[in-house]
C-alpha cells in the first residue's frame, strides 16, 4: 500500500514535489524498471491521551521516518486566531488566516509566523478553543493539504491526529487507532502536565465528543485500521504490537 507517482493512485499527493522524495527503482506496468516515488505513511489516530504522540515518536525513530503532530497544527492555527483576536465563530476569517499563516511544526518546536508558540499551544486557552477551530472546514482543507505536502516532500512519515487514516492518508501503509479508558487517558495527561484528574477527565470527554461528532472528518476508526487499546500496556508493549502489524504476513 504505497503511494506511487506513476500508477495514478493518490497522484495528488506527489504532484509537484516528486523530486524531493527518494525515487526508487521498481517494476512498472509495462514490465520495465521505472523510477517511482514511494511515500511510506504510518497513520495514527485516536482520542486525546491515548498515547499517540509517545508511540508515534518512538515508531518514527525505529523506522527512520519523520514525525508529524497534526494536533499541533490545529493548535497553532488556534493560537494565531486568538492572537489576532478573531471571532472563532467567523469561519471565513479563521479559514483565511489558516491559509496565510506560516507554521513550523517539528523538532525545534512550534512556530507561528516566526513566534515560538511551543508552550502556549498546550495552554488552557488554546486547549479550550481548538475543537472549534478544528471543526472549521476551510481550516481542515488547508491543514490536510499541508500534511499531504509534508509527507510527499519526505517520502512519508509517522503522522498522528484524528482523521489521518480516515481522510488524509486513506492508503497509508498502516493505519492505527490508539485508544485507552477515559480514566487512564486523564491520568496520563495529569502525569505530563499536572492538574486535577476528575476535571481533566471531564475536559477530555467534552473535547472527544466535539471531535467525534463534528460534520467534517470526525474522529473515527478508519476502514482497515488496527485498533490498539493501550490501557494497562507499557510503551514497549504497544510498540511491539505495532511492529508485529508491520511485519509481512
165 forms part of the interface with ligand DC (CB under 6 A): no
Residue 174 engages ligand DC in binding (rule: CB under 6 A):
no
Q: Evaluate whether 70 touches 143 at the Cβ level (below 8 Å).
A: yes
> What is the smallest separation between the CB atom of 150 and ligand DC, expressed in angstroms?
12
> In terms of C-beta distances under 8 Å and separation of at least 24 residues, what long-range contacts does 123-128 make, across chains too?
125/82, 126/75, 126/78, 126/79, 126/82, 127/75, 127/203, 127/207
Among 120, 153, 163, 201, binds ligand DC (CB under 6 A): 163
Selected from 98, 211, 225, 230, the binder of ligand DC by CB under 6 A is 211
Question: What are the grid coordinates assigned to 126, written together?
Answer: 488554546
| Closest separation in Å from C-beta 47 to ligand DC | 9
Measured from the CB atom, the residue of 93 and 210 that comes closer to ligand DC is 210
Q: Is 75 in the site for ligand DC (CB under 6 A)?
A: yes
Cα separation of 25 and 193, whole Å? 47
The verdict on 71 binding ligand DC (CB under 6 A) reads yes
- Whole-number minimum distance, CB 218 to ligand DC, in Å? 8
Asked whether position 136 contacts ligand DC by CB under 6 A, the answer is no
Contacts of 4 (CB under 8 A, 6+ apart): 26, 36, 37, 38
Indicate which single residue of 5, 17, 44, 48 sits in contact with ligand DC (rule: CB under 6 A).
48
Between 36 and 48, whose beta carbon lies closer to ligand DC? 48
Report the run of H or E that residue 198 belongs to, with start and end.
Answer: helix 197-213
Considering the complex, what minimum distance in angstroms separates the CB of residue 56 from ligand DC?
A: 10
> Within 13 A of 69's CA, how many CA atoms are on the CB side?
23
For ligand DC, the closer of residues 36 and 151 by Cβ is: 151
Q: Which of 21, 41, 60, 134 binds ligand DC (CB under 6 A)?
A: 134
| 39 membership: H or E segment, kind and range | strand 33-45
Residue 2 and residue 14: Cα distance in Å, rounded? 12
- Which lies closer to ligand DC via its Cβ, residue 30 or residue 89? 89
What distances in angstroms separate CA 166 from CA 36, 46, 112, 231, one per listed residue? 25, 11, 27, 23
| # of chain residues touching ligand DC (CB under 6 A) | 14
CA 62 to chain centroid: 18
Q: Which one of residues 162, 185, 188, 189 is an interface residue with ligand DC (CB under 6 A)?
A: 162
Tell me the CA distances in angstroms from 219 to 2, 121, 147, 177, 246, one per residue in order: 24, 20, 17, 10, 23
Residue 70 is a binding residue for ligand DC (CB under 6 A) = yes
Compute the least distance from the CB of residue 8 to ligand DC, in Å.
Answer: 26
* Strands 23-27 and 115-116, sheet pairing: unpaired
Q: Kindly list the residues in this chain that would bind ligand DC in the complex (CB under 6 A).
A: 48, 70-71, 74-75, 130-131, 134, 161-164, 207, 211
Amino acid at each position: 500500500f504505497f503511494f506511487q507517482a506513476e500508477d495514478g493512485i493518490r497522484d495528488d499527493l506527489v504532484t509537484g514535489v516528486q523530486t524531493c522524495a527518494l525515487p526508487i527503482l521498481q517494476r512498472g506496468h509495462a514490465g520495465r524498471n521505472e523510477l517511482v516515488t514511494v511515500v511510506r505513511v504510518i497513520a495514527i489516530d485516536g482520542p486525546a491521551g491515548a498515547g499517540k504522540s509517545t508511540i508515534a515518536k518512538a515508531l518514527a525513530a525505529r523506522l527512520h521516518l519523520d514525525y508529524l503532530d497534526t494536533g499541533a497544527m490545529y493548535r497553532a492555527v488556534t493560537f494565531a486566531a486568538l492572537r489576532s483576536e478573531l471571532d472563532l465563530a467567523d469561519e471565513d476569517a479563521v479559514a483565511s488566516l489558516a491559509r496565510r499563516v506560516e507554521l513550523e511544526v517539528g523538532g525545534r518546536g512550534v512556530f507561528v509566523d516566526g513566534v515560538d508558540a511551543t508552550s502556549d499551544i498546550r495552554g488552557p486557552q488554546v486547549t479550550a478553543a481548538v475543537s472549534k477551530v478544528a471543526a472549521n472546514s476551510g481550516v481542515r482543507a488547508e491543514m490536510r493539504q499541508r500534511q499531504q505536502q509534508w509527507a510527499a516532500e519526505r517520502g512519508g512519515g509517522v503522522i498522528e491526529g484524528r482523521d489521518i487514516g480516515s481522510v488524509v492518508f486513506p492508503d497509508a501503509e498502516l493505519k492505527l487507532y490508539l485508544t485507552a479508558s477515559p480514566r487512564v487517558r486523564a491520568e496520563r495527561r495529569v502525569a505530563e502536565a499536572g492538574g486535577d484528574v476528575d476535571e481533566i477527565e471531564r475536559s477530555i470527554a467534552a473535547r472527544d465528543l466535539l471531535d467525534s461528532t463534528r460534520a467534517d472528518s470526525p474522529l473515527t476508526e478508519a476502514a482497515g485500521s488496527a485498533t490498539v487499546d493501550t490501557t494497562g500496556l507499557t510503551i514497549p508493549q504497544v510498540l511491539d504490537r505495532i511492529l508485529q502489524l508491520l511485519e509481512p504476513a
